[in-house]
Structure formats: structure tokens, C-alpha cells
Amino acid sequence: MDLLDTLTAKGLRRELPTREEALAVLATTDDELLDVVAAAGRVRRQWFGRRVKLNYLVNLKSGLCPEDCSYCSQRLGSKAEILKYTWLKPEQAAEAAAAGLAGGAKRVCLVASGRGPTDRDIDRVADTISAIKDAHENVEICACLGLLSDNQAERLRAAGADAYNHNLNTSESTYGDIATTHTYADRVDTVTKAHGAGLSACSGLIAGMGESDEDLVDVVFALRELGSDSVPVNFLIPFEGTPLAKEWNLTPQRCLRILAMVRFVCPDVEVRIAGGREVHLRSMQPLGLHIANSIFLGDYLTSEGQAGQADLDMIKDAGFEIEGADEMTLPRHRSDVATGGSGGSCGSGGGCGPCGETPAAEEEESRNELVRVRRRGAGTELAPNA
């Protein structure tokens, strides 16, 4: 189709599509889905070959957050029965990170709940970075600690952090619908601070919160304008006990169209399938690898992912290969910019009712079984999933 030919040609030239073209990707039909995936796959292979980058999350501090983000199981007032614990010690975090690195991850993402870090928290994270890098010199470290104050990004960079994650999540016009304790502008400010300090900017979105196609296009265009090197695409995990627990708006086909739209708008950027891929893409996860070039290995912050070995098997069976620690993630033209020219590697069927429909109560129960609260790894005495 003319649209996909145009978008492919633009992606191969690193040319930004129009908003109308991006919206048209989201409006394609299921009959056109494989054509959409194939077109986005051509762009993905142009800039990233058949490599898949593995990232591993370590939740340094879980729950007890004062912010009211509606999508989050750690939010103020959340009744989700998640793990709650205060800061892991550096050696505990390093042990958790080692499990992911042994499974093939090249980036460790250190995450802590809360509005933003105190200066003491920055010291804790600096000690944790040292503990991890002392044992694994070439590992990439991405910190995700909330809103940054002046000079905190510089301190993280000096401590050895390579990247900073802070997602925009949704469009500026609808941000007030999902959070009131901070603003969209606060988030943009933190991404700008991180980038300005020499950290690779990692910033993405959450799909499935009831947003419109226009909202999705708005936030992805904003991420491109911010210069994000890595764009995590999260699919809402509707935790019981949160305001968005009933928001089941996604199908595997919708998720693939969203990923394709992100790839066309950000052709040479690390597009990561982040939280919720097991819940919403399900058996169609391998198709997502033809669009995205990065995933998380194993579990997430407060929910369980599929077994780490299953991730590795999926990548191999789909004909992809795991990106090595000595390989650059971003294309040369982007990695040189991200690292100041140093060339470094940095840059979420039928049922039993009438007409084959599943009864509503049974469907809701089936959906809820897809959301599995994390009970292993960091903050527990059980081995992590990697």
C-alpha cells in the first residue's frame, strides 16, 4: 500500500513522517497487519539488524510512593498487593543485577519509587552503581529515580550511570487525567536535565490507559523532539487496586500497530517492548521483535514477566540474536551524538456463551489471571527470574 511504501522510504532515510501518516498506521485494519509489521521490520533491520538488546530491572525500593499516577501499582492509595520494601543495600542490588547479566542482559535499570531522589538517595545509588560495575565493568547502568533536582543528573553521571529513564507516558493535553501530584512539564524538565548532563535519555510511553490515537501520536512526536535515545513502549498492566484496573483496551494487533507507529516516527532509536508485553501481546510477542530491537528480560518492578529462558528461546526461535556487550546499540550517527563522539554503546477465541462469546465475569477473571504480582527476586529471599 502507498502509505507503507512511503513510511518505509522515510524510515530508511531517517525522515520524520507526518502526523497524518502516523495516525494512519494506527487506523490500519487487521487484514493489513502483517504488511505493517513487514514495513516496520525493514526500517528496524536497516538500523539495528537482527539484534535484540536485553535489559534487566532491579527494583531498589518498592511501593510507598507519594505520587498519584493512576496506572501505577506503587501509587499513593494503591490497594494492589505488591511487594513493599525500602532501599536495597548495594550488595543486594548487585546480586540481583548479576542474575540478569548472567541471562544475557547488557543494561541494568536501577529503579526506585518516589517523587524524586534526595541527595542521600543519590549517594545510595552511586554506591550501588559502583558495586555493580566493580563486578561487571562493561555493563550499562540506567537510573530511574523520579524527578531530578539541579545537579543530581551530573552526580549520577559522575558515579558511572550511562542513562536516565523518565517516561512522558501520555500526551501533554491528557496528562492531568492520569496524575495530579506533578505535571507533564515536570517530566520534560527531568529528561532535559538528564540529557544535558551527558546521560543517554530513555523516555517512553504507556499505551492502553484510554488514550486516543491522537494522544499516542502526540507523545511519540514529543519523545522524538526531546531526543530520546531509547523509547520504552509500555502496555498498561491493569492492577487490581488501582484506578485503571478495568482498562482492558488493548489487543495484540493494536499493540503491534502502536509499536510500528513508534518505529516509523523514531526509525533509528532503540524501541523497547517494556511492561505488559506478556499480558497484551501474548502469543504474538515474536512479531513485536520484528519492530522493536529491545526488551526487558524476566520480571518487571511489581509484576512477573515470562520466564527468562522463555525470552531467550523466543528470540532464537524468531531468528534474532542477542546483542553483545561489545556491540553498539544505536547506529553510529546516533551513538556519536549520544556519547559526544566517543562511539560508546548507549544511546513496558471462542468461549462458552451464546455466539462464542465469553461471559463478562469469566472474561474478567481470565484477564486478571494475566496480571501476576512479583513475589521473587529483589526484596525477597527467592531467586530472581532471569
Q: Is 46 exposed, middle or buried (0-12, 13-18, 19+ CB in 10 A)?
A: middle
Task: Return the percent helix, strand and coil in the chain, to nearest 5.
Answer: 45, 15, 45
Sorted by sequence, the CB contacts under 8 Å of residue 292 that are 6+ apart come out as 44, 233, 259, 263, 271, 272, 273
Q: Is 50 in the active site?
A: no
| Given 44, 142, 263, 374, the catalytic residue | 142
| Given 65, 144, 266, 346, the catalytic residue | 65
Would you say 315 and 322 are in contact if contact means Cβ atoms under 8 Å apart? yes
Q: Is 346 in the active site?
A: no
| Given 75, 124, 144, 202, the catalytic residue | 202
Kindly give the pairing relationship between strand 51-61 and strand 107-112. parallel
For 149, the grid coordinates are 533536582
Would you say 114 and 84 are in contact if contact means Cβ atoms under 8 Å apart? no
Q: Is the dihedral of CA 303, 305, 308, 309 positive or negative?
A: positive
Q: Is 69 in the active site?
A: yes
| Given 75, 109, 254, 374, the catalytic residue | 109
Q: Is 352 in the active site?
A: no
Q: How far is CA 328 from CA 130, 235, 288, in A?
A: 22, 27, 21
| Given 44, 107, 272, 374, the catalytic residue | 272
Q: Is 144 in the active site?
A: no
| Given 72, 144, 255, 266, the catalytic residue | 72
Q: Is 266 in the active site?
A: no
Q: Is 272 in the active site?
A: yes
Task: Report, as residue numbers or ranges, the catalytic residues.
Answer: 65, 69, 72, 109, 142, 202, 272
